[in-house]
Every structure is written in structure tokens, then in C-alpha cells.
């Protein structure tokens, strides 16, 4: 980045920080490294980059990072996670109000590789099966967030994916109970009167999109059909479809709008209400 552009970026960051709260700064070099590793962050307008930098600094002040299996979480790793986690919050008002969506937990656990979680399931005959599930991330209701660092670091470079956005979308989805693919919707969402009407409008768009996507994945798995652009993991449940869709929306918005023309306006209305209100 040219020196003049860097000075302008720092000027914007100082203005935003002065307007929101006296929070620690994220150094320019560290911030530029983060943008360089994740092109979807670098593509933001400079004003949004400055706002994201200030919001990420406040996020870092409020969360506690720990490494699993001896992993040391560096400043660069923490900033990469913070920036991706805060990206969906950019247009949700004052930083304190926006970050309140994540105030039900403090801990973020970073693994050096994929994690293995012990699971159990009961089949139709009542037999209990114990097994291990490979995880890139996991969000627990009212609990910490677990992330695999290689998956975090690869965001935006291996398809329209971001495990950080994925898990933090589960956190937002859980604000009104167990994740079900419908987050708490603001008053007057899409001009609807009342929460029930807003929920009905949301489901009217998301349920058929999920069913169509699930059918596409089934055809690809069983009959060799074309695999969808969106991560097939989204076909496992409505909550996963919502999280996977949000990943793609923030990492590659033009392609997402092309693939899901009925869902893109819903996500814009949710994440950028000022543009649709």
C-alpha cells in the first residue's frame, strides 16, 4: 500500500476510535498483514476497514484467547479472528451495541489442527453409538467458541468460507435459543409488523432455499450430479445452512447474490438495515 494511502487509513482509524471508545489500537503493520491474508477484508471500503479495525480492538479487549495442545495464540492470530468475527457487526450501530451480540461468552479456544469431539447417538433401535467427529470449529450456547487455526487462516483462500464467521453466526442464531437458522430479527424487519410476521417472511425465503440446496447435495452424493458452489455442509441442518450462507455472503457477496437471489436481500436487510430501512 502506498504511504499516502496508509496515512489516510491510519487517519480514518484514529477518527473512528476517537468517536467510539478509548480502546487499544491495532498497529498498522499488523492490521495490513491481516488484510493481506484475507482479500475479502481488504476489499472493504477504507471507511469500513477503519471501523472494523476499531471494532476488532474492542473485541480483543473483551475476549480471552487460549491455545489448545500447546499452541501459542499470537497477536496476528487473535487479530485475524477478531476481524472476521466483527465483520458482520459493522453496520449494527455503536460498537457496544454491536458487540453485545457476543456478550454471552468470553473464551475463544484455538486448536493447532482439526479437533476431535466425542459424540454419541441413539439409533431407531435404541442402541447408543459412541464416535468421534472431526471439527474445524464449534460454538456452544452460552459457552466458548472453538476454532481450528488452519481453517481460520485459510478463510477466503479456499472457497467462500470463513470458519470464524460460521461459528459466530451460530452465536447470533443462538441469541433466541438453540440454533435453528433464524436469528433474532429486529423490529420492523423488511417492513413486517411484529416478530411473528418477520419470522414468517424469513422462513418463506429460507426454507425453500434450504430444501432445494439439500436436494442438490443429495443428487451430487448419490447420482454424481454437479456439486453446489456453497459448502455442502450447509445441507445437514437449517442452522448450518444459515451459517454457511453467511460465510459465503461476506466472503464473496457477488457470487452469493448470483447463486441465491432470494437470500441475498434477506441478509442485506439483516446485516445492513440502514440500506433497506
Enumerate domains of the chain plus CATH numbers: 180-277 (3.40.390)
105-to-140, 146, 163, 268 alpha-carbon distances in Å:
9, 12, 18, 26
User: For residues 161 and 176, what is the distance between their CA atoms, to the nearest angstrom?
Assistant: 25
More reliable by pLDDT, 130 or 59 = 59
Per-residue model confidence as pLDDT tens digits over 192-248: 888 889 999 999 999 999 999 999 999 999 999 999 999 999 999 999 999 999 999
**Whole-number percent of the chain with pLDDT over 90:** 75
- Provide the pLDDT for residue 14: 58
Per-residue model confidence as pLDDT tens digits over 83-139: 999 999 999 999 999 999 999 999 999 999 877 666 566 556 666 554 546 678 999
Amino acid at each position: 500500500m502506498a504511504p499516502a494511502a496508509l496515512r489516510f487509513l491510519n487517519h480514518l482509524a484514529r477518527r473512528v476510535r476517537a468517536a467510539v471508545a478509548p480502546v487499544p489500537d491495532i498497529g498498522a503493520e499488523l492490521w495490513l498483514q491481516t488484510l493481506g491474508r484475507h482479500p475479502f477484508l481488504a476489499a472493504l471500503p477504507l471507511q469500513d476497514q477503519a471501523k472494523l479495525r476499531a471494532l476488532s480492538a474492542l473485541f480483543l479487549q473483551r475476549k480471552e484467547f487460549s491455545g489448545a495442545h500447546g499452541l501459542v495464540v499470537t497477536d496476528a492470530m487473535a487479530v485475524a479472528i477478531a476481524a472476521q468475527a466483527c465483520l458482520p457487526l459493522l453496520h449494527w450501530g455503536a460498537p457496544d451495541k454491536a458487540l453485545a451480540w457476543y456478550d454471552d461468552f468470553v473464551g475463544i479456544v484455538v486448536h493447532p489442527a482439526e479437533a476431535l469431539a466425542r459424540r454419541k447417538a441413539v439409533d431407531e433401535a435404541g442402541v447408543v453409538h459412541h464416535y468421534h467427529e472431526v471439527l474445524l470449529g464449534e460454538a456452544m450456547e452460552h459457552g466458548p467458541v472453538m476454532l481450528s487455526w488452519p481453517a481460520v487462516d485459510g478463510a477466503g483462500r479456499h472457497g467462500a468460507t470463513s470458519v470464524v464467521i460460521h461459528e459466530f453466526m451460530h452465536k447470533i442464531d443462538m441469541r433466541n435459543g438453540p440454533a435453528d437458522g433464524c436469528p433474532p430479527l429486529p423490529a420492523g424487519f423488511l417492513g413486517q409488523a411484529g416478530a411473528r410476521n418477520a419470522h414468517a417472511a424469513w422462513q418463506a425465503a429460507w426454507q425453500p432455499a434450504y430444501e432445494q440446496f439439500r436436494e442438490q447435495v443429495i443428487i451430487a452424493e448419490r447420482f454424481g450430479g454437479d456439486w453446489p458452489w456453497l459448502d455442502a455442509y450447509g445441507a445437514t441442518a437449517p442452522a448450518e445452512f444459515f451459517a454457511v450462507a453467511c460465510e459465503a455472503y461476506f466472503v464473496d457477496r457477488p457470487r452469493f447474490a448470483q447463486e441465491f437471489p432470494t437470500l441475498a436481500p434477506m441478509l442485506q436487510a439483516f446485516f445492513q438495515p440502514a440500506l433497506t430501512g
